[in-house]
Structure 1
Amino acid sequence: MELRHLRYFIAVAEELNLTRAAEKLFIAQPPLTRQIRQLEEELEVQLFIRKPRGLELTQGGLYFLQQARNIMDKLEASVEGTRQIAQLRKTIFAIGFVPSVFYGQLPLMVRRLRRNKNLEIVLHELKTQEQIEALRSGKIDIGFGRVHIEDPDVEQEVLFNEPLIAALPASHPLTRQMPTMQQLAEVPMVAFPAGAGPNFSDIALGLFHRRGLKVQVIQQVNDLQTALSLVASDMGFALVPEQVKKLQREGVDFVPVADDNLTIPVIASRRRGENPNAAMRLVNTILIELVENRLSGRYP
């Protein structure tokens, strides 16, 4: 098996059409068909179900697609890291993050890391599930997210639990008080991110469901900035981590919620069982200080 087999397979799996995949790869369709058949023969597994209007991945094909993407991501990260090290003679340290943690102390950590002339810091905006996959492939070295995800190759550490607050339209009556969850449940909700869980949206909605409250989700969006734009447009409210109030978004008021135990974790994800190199030891040292600042109230 060669790398071209993986590239060809991924293209066909994404297009589910041999003609479109061949055009994407700039090759003719018959050689592509032969390469896919050779791959299936070598694996002794049927990867695709041939149908009159295209292809469908088998269960084996779905699993192999995930593995093939991991291999290609790891190869890409290795090639890019090698090039940068050769050019800069620096250690590449890649960080994955969900946007909501970047309004807190993470920029301080990045700024301190960048002072080290031997480090090249690379940032990737990734959902927590994407961070797990990126850690496994070697694309990132550490991830900062909000969701617990069980994975045998990744360990997660809760750095601290952060209060959740309500982002409400500035003109809304509930901005004049500390609303309860029951009061918020009567207002349309903007949830984020959209897409398959587990994600922040699942956590936020779960807080209502566990209290026996039904909430009307008026819109699901992919990112925090869009959610706040919809709040500013008076479409509804959003639950957001406390650090987000640093944005001071026009047309949006950030209000504490009256209910107790309304928190969400900030979670660091690392590869399990890996001996920390010098860069990771520096990151861990900075994290200990920043978390202590947070817990002691020296940083909101």
Structure 2
Amino acid sequence: MDIRQLKYFVAVANERNFTRASEVLHIAQPPLSRQIQLLEEELGVQLILRNSRPLRLTEAGRVFYEQALQIINRLDQLKTATRQIGLQQRETVSIGFVPSTLYGGLPMLVRKLRQHYPDVDIQPVELTSTQQIGALKSGRIDVGFGRIRGNDSTVARTVLREERLVLAIPPDSPLAANAGHISLSELNGQKLIVYPKEPRPSFADHVLSFLNDQDIRPSEIHEVREIQTALGLVAAEYGLCLIPSSARLRSDLHYRLIDDPRITSPVILSHRLNDNAWYIAAIKQLVSDMYAKNPPWLDVEHNVLPGTGLPPSKKAAKEKKAQKKAP
């Protein structure tokens, strides 16, 4: 077994297809299939179920995939760290993020980090919430901004805010006739588009759990890989989609806030447990400073800060009122 075989297996597991994996790796399919077969023979177990479309991993394959990914990431980290030390390069902080956080405060945070710490190389890395856990454990990233609550005991999580969900609606839909709040029950019997398709669990499962909790049954659920595709299908009148309120990307759609304030998507800061690196405290302080200024993306109606039960501007108003009353 060598690192090349691990990379081959990870590519096949990611693509769920030998042909696509061979294209990604820039090798022919027969030698790729042969290397995976040799790997299975060496391990003495089957890693991939080849008779399914797309390909699926066996239970042993899933375990092997997670471990292989960590080994590859650790090797990349080792190469990068060694080069930085050898070339006396500046310190690097890698930040994992899910794409929807780009429509909220993450760009501002990255700008502020670069302004406050110009000698540090800030590197954003796009990863799903689930992938961020493995990336933190392997050292590929230093902190992550995701949306799915996990239960890994080696990762510390801080909920920065709860962002309410809105329903994206094509403009000619009867549901677009009203600009007010809308009940989640309106999704009964409707076509629903969810994302991302994989890996799971994901934001798609987060949305589907809300529907299951309220016994809401869409007529059809269509899974896609990313939010841009989902909103494009809404614009094509293929269905409806629940998204975080900050991700209202398309101006040709109608958006209505879900009337239940419990229907939210958290923005979660994650890092390795017991990691006391300077950048963790720095990031938390910068986030707190940003929230205190009530930027446009932290709009009044669509966000709630943890522990307050209040949207940001109402929290600030309450604090200001309390200060006036103080002797």
Shift of 1:11: 2.6
Greater shift, 197-206 or 172-181, is seen at: 172-181
Q: State TM-score, norm by structure 1.
A: 0.79
2:321 paired residue number: none
Return structure 1 stretches of 4+ with deviation > 6 angstroms. 49-53
Change (3 A) 1:279 1:87: farther
Question: Is contact 1:163-1:264 (8 Å) kept?
Answer: yes
Output the CA distance in 2 between the equivalents of 1:252 and 1:36.
49
1:297 paired residue number: 313
2:133 paired residue number: 132
Could you tell me which of 213, 216, 230 is aligned with 1:227?
Answer: 230
Output the CA distance in 1 between the equivalents of 2:314 and 2:105.
11
1:197 paired residue number: 200
**1:5-154, aligned counterparts within 5 Å?**
5-11=2-8, 24=27, 40=42, 46-48=44-46, 60=60, 62-84=62-84, 89-115=89-115, 116-154=117-155
Output the CA distance in 1 between the equivalents of 2:3 and 2:158.
34
Change (3 A) 1:24 1:147: same
Write out per-residue CA displacement over residues 75-119 of structure 1, whole angstroms, 9 at most, x where no aligned residue.
102312443565572111111111111111111100011122211
Change (3 A) 1:112 1:178: same
**1:173-212, aligned counterparts within 5 Å?**
173-175=174-176, 176=178, 177-212=180-215
Q: State TM-score, norm by structure 2.
A: 0.73
The secondary structure found in structure 2 opposite 1:170 is coil
Question: What is the RMSD of the two structures over their aligned residues, measured on CA atoms?
Answer: 3.6
Question: Is contact 1:94-1:121 (8 Å) kept?
Answer: yes
Question: Is contact 1:135-1:270 (8 Å) kept?
Answer: yes
Change (3 A) 1:113 1:188: same
Change (3 A) 1:12 1:263: closer
Write out per-residue CA displacement over residues 172-196 of structure 1, whole angstroms, 9 at most, x where no aligned residue.
2222243211223343111111124
2:162 paired residue number: 161
Output the CA distance in 1 between the equivalents of 2:73 and 2:256.
41
Question: Is contact 1:100-1:241 (8 Å) kept?
Answer: yes
Output the CA distance in 1 between the equivalents of 2:125 and 2:221.
29
- The AA in structure 1 aligned to 2:287 is L
Could you tell me which of 242, 246, 251 is aligned with 2:245?
Answer: 242
Stretches of structure 2 that go unaligned for 5 or more consecutive residues are 299-304, 306-311, 316-327
Output the CA distance in 2 between the equivalents of 1:179 and 1:12.
46
